[in-house]
Every structure is written in C-alpha cells, then in structure tokens.
Amino acid sequence: MKRISRVACVALIGLSNLAWAEPLTLDKAVEMALEADPRIREREAVVEQARALLDEVKGHGGLSLSSNLYLSATEAVKGGFFKEGTLEPRSDAGEFKNGLSPLVGLQLALIKPLYTFGKLEHYGAAATGNIRVKQGEVKIARAQTQMDVRRAWYGLLTARESRAFLEDLDKRVDGALESFDRRAANGTLPRQADRFALEAVKGLVGRYLAQARAIEQVSLDGLKTLIGLPLSATLEVADARIEPVALPEGSLDEMVKKALAQRAEMEQVEAGMAALREMVEARRAETRPDLYAAVVGDVAWAARRDRLDNPYLTDPFNHAYAAPVVGMRWNWQPGVQDARMRQAEAELRAVTEKANLARMGIPFQVAEAYHRARGMQAGLDQLKNGYQSARRWMVANFIDMEAGSATMDQVVESFKTYATMYGDYLLGVNDYNMQVAALRQALGEWHQ
C-alpha cells in the first residue's frame, strides 16, 4: 500500500498554474506560460540591457559636449595696466581698493572622434556578441518553462488518474464488505478477522484517496499559476488521462548532431568566444591614441573689472574665445592596459574550455536521456501487461469469494498486487513522459 501513496504524491511535481474557459490543451498551456512567465521577461530585460550597452559604445563615436558654467567673485579693478600717469606697471593686486566683483564663466568643448584605431569597432563587436549570449539565456529560460508546464501537466493527469484508481479500489472494498455481510446474514459465518482486514484496507485506501484529491487540486492550482491565471478561474484540461508520448525520431548519432547544431548553449559559447576575441583586440587598441575634431571655447566676465585688451596677455576675468581644433589624445597607462588585455585573454581561454566541455557534455546528455527513455518505454510495456493481468486476477478472486471458492487472503493478495503494479505504471508513465521531455530539451527543440 506504500506504492499507492507514491501514486498520489507524484502530482506534487505539477506545482504550476492554469485556468481557461474551454478545455485546455498542452500546446495552449505552453503558449500561455511562455507569455506569462516572469523569468522569461527578466531574461528579455537583460537582452535590452545588452542592446543599450551596444548603443553606449556607438554613442562614444558621436558628438560629446563638455561644459563648465561657474559663478565666483574676484577683486574689482578700475584703471589700466599702468599706474595712473606713469608707464610703470601696477602693483596693487590683492589690496581690494575697489571691493569685489562677481565673476561668471563658461568653459566648453564640443568633440567628435575621427579615428580611434579600432577601439569603437572592437568594443561594438564585443557588445554585439554579448547580445547574442543574452538572447541564448532567453531561449534557455523558455525551454525551462516548457519543461515546467509539462511537469505540471503530467503531474495533474497522474494525480487525476490516481484518484480515479483509488476510487475504484474503494468501491471494490465496499463491495467485498457487502458480500461479507450477506454471507454472514445467510448463516455462512465468515471469519470476523476477514472483515477487520477489509476495514483496515478501506481505511488505508480512504486516506490515500483524500490525499490524491487534495494533490489533484494543488496541481490544478499550480498549473493555473504557471499560465498566469487566477486560482479562482475554472480550468478544464483536454486530456482525460495520461498516456505515454512518442519518442523523437532518428538514431542516437542523428540526435547528437541535431543537439550540437541547435542547442542555445552552443550558440552562446560561439557568441561569447567571438565577443571575447573582440574584447582582446579592443584592449590592445586602448594603447593607441584617438584622433578627434573639436570646437573649444571659454568665456569669463567680471562686471566691476575694467577689460584688459592686449593681444599678448589674456585677462582670466574678462575674455571670450572659441576655436576649431584637430587633435590627438592618448591615455597612456601601460601597466593597467597590459593587465586588462591579459584579463581579456584569460577570459577567452576560459570560454574556449567551456566550449570544449559543451561539445563533450552535450552528446553524453543526449545519450543519457535517450537510453533512459528507451529503457522506461520497454519497462512500461511490461508494467502494462502486468497490471492488466493483476486486475483480472483481482476481479476473478472477488467473484470467487462471492461464490465461496476463494479465501480472503487470496482477495487481499490480488488486491495488493494490482494496486502496486497499477501505481507503478502510472508513476512510470509520468516519469517516462518527463524523460522524453528532457530528451527534447537536450536536443534543443525548444531553443528555436
């Protein structure tokens, strides 16, 4: 009877969400879950963040404006460069004879990079590769959602069929008890211990039946949650019972080739390697200068200072100028730049090894899922034949008991055998279907 509890508890696998006005199919449930799953929305937001990083790189190649507007105070000055009535330069700075003057200034530089010796190109290519890596994470998240929906779906069907199975057993036990009472009323005088045994079985079945009903409801509510519907919504699934699904077509070698060609992880690794190669080149380009064109200007005005107009002297408190500039700027930090380049090279080596691991691991992952699914499929055929024979044996024993030619021990034994084998079959179908789903996930069928 412990196996009966396992049949009932398997529905806990289906903690998902679902609600629909008409019978819901598995494909529709998957479609709704893909629209509702916040984990996918989170990964999509990361993709947008990666796109914004690319836009930032492109922005470094456009116009930039650096400006500084300030307000201060300085010494007020009246008169010219020389002492009044002489040709001797003035020497009264800092005496504040005329008080203070407000000072307003504006410094600005409008700059357009002309050539960066590969910095923008390589950083842009690295950012593009990063976008592809993040898009792969979206595909992986969508594939996981498909797995979660199937886990919930098959769990619900298993719980529902377990409940129906236990209800049937409960009716069988009731029938046996009624038969016992009829025989006692007819004076056959069956053993009282047999009735106690039936009552014990009924209590155990009743317990697991109540548990199965509760788990069925929990599974249903979980499915509602996965597809983004409220728990109060009415949901009816289109499948009446759980059935074994078909294995993907093709040989194992064909499946391995298919997985290596379409798994999102392989796309991520290739994109990551390309991005890091570009990052290494971008780090190298950091040691080279930037060629730029600019317009620079500076304005300062002190209201209570006389203006000094001399082409050889610049008055820092009263002046205005703007000029076009073509220049070359160079940020030379050999120690820092060399360290950053070595970091990028090390990251590239790490991703290269990750690619090697993926090429080794994915074929094994596919092979493992394939062999497990094939083994479960063969086991299901045996279990199906076994539980069908056990059911016929149990029914025959109930009939023989009615006729008085079978003992209660024989009835209980056939009852246990049938319960065990049918419970194992339901669990086996659930596990097999999920193993097929794992195989399809390993093949990358949901990474498109």
* pLDDT at site 190: 65
Three-state DSSP at 407 gives coil
Give the rounded percent of residues in the chain with a pLDDT score beyond 70. Answer: 94
Taking only the tens place, the pLDDT of each residue in 133-155 is: 889 889 999 999 999 999 999 99
* pLDDT at site 87: 78
Tokens of residue 24, six digits: 């819901």
* pLDDT at site 12: 35
Q: Which residues contact 116 (CB under 8 A, 6 or more apart)?
A: 61, 285, 288, 290, 291
Give the CA count within 13 Å in the CB-facing half-sphere of 246: 3
Q: What pTM was computed for the model?
A: 0.78
C-alpha 396/C-alpha 390 separation (Å) is 10
Evaluate whether the domain defined by 2-60+140-287+335-443 bears CATH number 3.30.230.10: no
Q: What is the pLDDT averaged over residues 356-373?
A: 90
- What's the distance, Cα to Cα, between the start and end of the chain in Å? 45
Residue 94 has pLDDT above 80, yes or no: no
Residue 8 has pLDDT above 60, yes or no: no
Instruction: Provide the 8-state DSSP code for 197.
Output: H
Taking only the tens place, the pLDDT of each residue in 397-442 is: 878 876 767 777 787 788 888 888 888 899 899 999 999 999 999 9
Any idea what the Cα angle at residue 144 is, between residues 143 and 150, rounded to 5°? 95
Q: What is the pLDDT averaged over residues 175-192?
A: 76
Give the rounded percent of residues in the chain with a pLDDT score beyond 90. Answer: 42
Q: What is the mean pLDDT of the chain?
A: 85
Tokens of residue 436, six digits: 């097929």
What DSSP line would sit under 117-176, residue for residue?
Answer: TTHHHHHHHHHHHHHHHHHHHHHHHHHHHHHHHHHHHHHHHHHHHHHHHHHHHHHHHHHH
Yes or no: say if 168 and 17 are a contact pair by the CB < 8 Å rule.
Answer: no
Q: What pLDDT band is residue 11 in, cutting at 50, 70 and 90?
A: very low
Q: What pLDDT band is residue 372 in, cutting at 50, 70 and 90?
A: very high
Q: What pLDDT band is residue 346 in, cutting at 50, 70 and 90?
A: confident
* pLDDT at site 440: 94
Q: What pLDDT band is residue 166 in, cutting at 50, 70 and 90?
A: confident
Yes or no: say if 368 and 256 are a contact pair by the CB < 8 Å rule.
Answer: no
C-alpha 125/C-alpha 275 separation (Å) is 6
C-alpha 246/C-alpha 422 separation (Å) is 21
Residue 16 has pLDDT above 70, yes or no: no
* pLDDT at site 19: 38
Calculate Rg over the CA atoms of the chain.
40
* pLDDT at site 189: 61
Residue 243 has pLDDT above 70, yes or no: yes
Residues of the chain with CATH 1.20.1600.10: 2-60+140-287+335-443
C-alpha 308/C-alpha 78 separation (Å) is 11
Q: What is the pLDDT averaged over residues 56-83?
A: 89
* pLDDT at site 1: 43
* pLDDT at site 48: 94
Q: What pLDDT band is residue 121 in, cutting at 50, 70 and 90?
A: very high
Higher pLDDT, 268 or 110: 110
Q: What is the pLDDT averaged over residues 10-38?
A: 70
* pLDDT at site 156: 92
Higher pLDDT, 42 or 309: 42
Residue 217 has pLDDT above 60, yes or no: yes
Q: What is the pLDDT averaged over residues 293-310?
A: 90
What single letter denotes the amino acid at residue 374? R
Taking only the tens place, the pLDDT of each residue in 313-323 is: 888 899 999 99
* pLDDT at site 183: 74
Residue 21 has pLDDT above 90, yes or no: no
Least confident of 4-8, 228-232, 273-277: 4-8
Q: What is the pLDDT averaged over residues 381-390?
A: 91
Query: What is the sign, positive or negative, of the torsion defined by CA atoms of 49, 54, 55, 61?
Result: positive
* pLDDT at site 206: 86
